[in-house]
A and B are shown apart, each in its own frame.
Chain A
Amino acid sequence: MSIHIRGVSKSFGTFKALDNVSLDVPQGTLLALLGPSGSGKTTLLRIIAGLEWPDSGRIEEDGEDITDRHARQREVGFVFQHYALFRHMSVFENIAFGLRVRKAPKQEVEAKVNELLHLVRLDGLGARKPAQLSGGQRQRVALARALAIRPKILLLDEPFGALDAKVRVELRQWLRRLHDEIGMTSVFVTHDQEEAFELADEVVVMNHGRIEQRGTPEEVFEHPATPFVMDFLGNVNVFHGRVEKGQAFWHGIPIDYPDYPHSQARPARVYLRPHELDIARAAAEQPGGNAATAAAVTGSLPASVLRIARSGAISRVSCRPDGSDTELHVDLPTDTARDLSLQPGERVTITPRKVRVFLPDPEYVI
């Protein structure tokens, strides 16, 4: 079932949680709402669920207006961050709850619950109480309980937030497979970009109650629409530069920026991802003036190495570009770093393969 959110706003007191948000979720999509806390992503999810009412705007499912429909009539599966299992009920009874309140026949309940227990790989644990399960198992019970009512839409609020790293990754992959098998429309909320990118077909980045960008993980990662998205995706070098006449300059390196053809120079922010930088040992002891010219021609930057940190497959080299106080991080495959065997204090040249430039406050551009 497709979801259409049309101009939804919601305030809590003076806090504007959602500000005129519109979003279409096509049938069968697994969509991530990604954003920092307070960005409105959970509020949006709860409004789709019917647990919260929008102040204005509408929610449609397959073109049918369901804005005024109560949560229990929407037939939406909802998985809570902290599982929200019924503690006094067994795993079996938890999963059966949605069927029991619908007065499903006993045999049907039993068959369906056992099928779901198998689906979430908890065969034989039906008699346990939630307190006797691990976090990952509880989350799977919560999922089975939500699936029991055969929802057309599955909503998950930070579904892996309370789990440890290993379980989280496993459960993520499993959920992806499950989604593909069942073919529901699913929306989940997360503040973890890695989770969003790994799991989702489409990512919606939210900030201050608005949608900053929507796209496939690749689109969002490769072409961040706003400085916020760039910042939020994290792990990025930010420098101050300037733009004029269709070019941005960062430490004297020109970068094409056709969006700003004006001759009046404006400050801009320059974003460089650590893995999109090349690093090489500086050519040995060339005359200083010559090296500077070469840098300008090839678009590379002289810097000195501060330190090298290894974390698994990736090594991070921290450098200080000449004439700058800001550290620049370069990520290299650890093998490459080993071959290069840079030492702190060594002179290097850094060549960006990709640079992104954003003008602050674009609304003020004349």
Chain B
Amino acid sequence: MTAHDAVLRSPRRRSVLPGFGISAAITSVMITALVIIPLAVLALRAASLGPAEFLAAAWTPRARAAYAVSLGASLTAAIISSLCGLLVAWVLVRIDFPGRRLLDALVDVPLALPTAVAGLVYSTLYVERGWLGRFLVPLGIHGAYSWLGIVLVLVFVSLPFAIRVVQPVLESLDHDTEEAARMLGASRVQTFLQVIFPAIFPAVLTGFALALARALGEYGSVVFISGNMPFKTEIAPVLIVSRLEEFAYAEATAIAVVLLAMSISLLIVVNWLQQRVARNAQ
């Protein structure tokens, strides 16, 4: 037994959750079975390729374009979701209007709806003769089979995360500090930027990270709306599937590994930022 174990098990350090041994075991089994093993298999599969083969498979011009579309569209969507999510959360928390509870319930719909359905509905709406497309396409706005379409559905699937993370923080916000800022002569804008926003910024960043993660992994809706044109609107997950359909398993895995590495790096950066900001906000 190490010293660390001794501390955790000593009777004076009793935690409210009974059975440290059992809960730790369940946690490790879950993480191993659900995350570590699948990722290890992915890495092993990719490792069956030599470095040169790996590069050749994962760094083709088409693959690079797919990464760019994936990252670009996901980042854009996550930014939009965070900003809109903040606004929606603000409205839901601060403004009492008829139908507020209904709107609050509607926020979760994108989580429950099969995303393929969302993709199909969006593409039907935004095609040239669709309900919205007939007005937008003449203006040069192509909502279907385009990069814009990808961003649209990614915002749809990631928005609930951005809202639900910020909402409780806004609810628990101390109203006194806003009044204090007003008493000290701050305008509404100054109060928001200097008093409210710093308090909710960590939550906004967390929402951004979750939205980004959700957007990076999304496949079902994008495949229907993007048109999947290589070099233009093909996202990395779609490229992986098309490689699989060609039975190029190793290549598919290599692309997956690169996508995974990019996603993880991005999330690490966002989390690091979030922690820094949160520490500062204490």
Interface of A toward B, CB cutoff 8 Å: 49, 51, 70-73, 75-78, 80, 82, 84-89, 97-98, 101-102, 129, 131, 142, 145-146, 148-149
Interchain CB contact under 8 A, B185 and A149: yes
Chain B 175-219, CB-CB to A under 8 Å as 1, else 0, gives 011011111111100100011001100000000000000000000
| Interface core residue of B176, B183, B199 (most chain A CB under 10 Å) | B183
Interchain CB contact under 8 A, B281 and A80: no
Secondary structure type dominating chain B contacts:
helix
CA distance A102 to B181 in the complex (A): 12
Instruction: Apart from A88-B280, A98-B184, list 18 A-B contacts with CB within 8 A.
Output: A70-B182, A72-B183, A78-B180, A80-B179, A84-B177, A84-B180, A85-B180, A86-B181, A86-B195, A88-B199, A97-B184, A97-B186, A101-B181, A101-B187, A102-B185, A129-B282, A142-B180, A148-B184
B171 lies within 8 A of chain A by Cβ: no
B198 neighbours in A (Cβ, 8 Å):
86, 88-89
Shortest distance from the beta carbon of B115 to any chain A beta carbon, whole Å: 37
CB-based nearest A residue for B195: A86
CA distance A73 to B183 in the complex (A): 8
A84 neighbours in B (Cβ, 8 Å):
174, 176-177, 179-180
Number of residues in B with C-beta < 8 Å to the partner? 20
A97 neighbours in B (Cβ, 8 Å):
181, 184, 186, 194
| Interface core residue of B176, B177, B185 (most chain A CB under 10 Å) | B185
B184 neighbours in A (Cβ, 8 Å):
72, 97-98, 101, 145-146, 148-149
Interchain CB contact under 8 A, B177 and A78: no
Interchain CB contact under 8 A, A86 and B187: no
Interchain CB contact under 8 A, A72 and B187: yes
A77 neighbours in B (Cβ, 8 Å):
183
Which of B176, B185, B199, B281 makes the CB contact (< 8 A) with A101? B185
Shortest distance from the beta carbon of B212 to any chain A beta carbon, whole Å: 24
Shortest distance from the beta carbon of A61 to any chain B beta carbon, whole Å: 15
A86 neighbours in B (Cβ, 8 Å):
177, 180-181, 194-195, 198
Interface of B toward A, CB cutoff 8 Å: 174, 176-177, 179-187, 190, 194-195, 198-199, 280-282
CB-based nearest B residue for A148: B184
Interchain CB contact under 8 A, B186 and A71: no
Shortest distance from the beta carbon of B205 to any chain A beta carbon, whole Å: 14
CA distance A75 to B176 in the complex (A): 17
CA distance A49 to B19 in the complex (A): 54
B180 neighbours in A (Cβ, 8 Å):
78, 80, 84-86, 142, 145
Interchain CB contact under 8 A, A51 and B179: yes
17 A-B pairs with C-beta separation under 8 A:
A71-B179, A72-B182, A72-B184, A72-B186, A73-B185, A82-B176, A84-B174, A84-B177, A86-B180, A86-B181, A86-B194, A86-B195, A87-B199, A98-B185, A145-B184, A148-B184, A149-B184
B187 neighbours in A (Cβ, 8 Å):
72, 101
Interchain CB contact under 8 A, B281 and A87: yes
Closest 4 CB pairs of A and B: A84-B176, A98-B184, A84-B180, A88-B281
B282 neighbours in A (Cβ, 8 Å):
87-88, 129, 131
CB-based nearest A residue for B185: A72
B194 neighbours in A (Cβ, 8 Å):
86, 97, 101
CB-based nearest B residue for A102: B185
A85 neighbours in B (Cβ, 8 Å):
177, 180
CA distance A306 to B182 in the complex (A): 57
CB-based nearest B residue for A73: B185
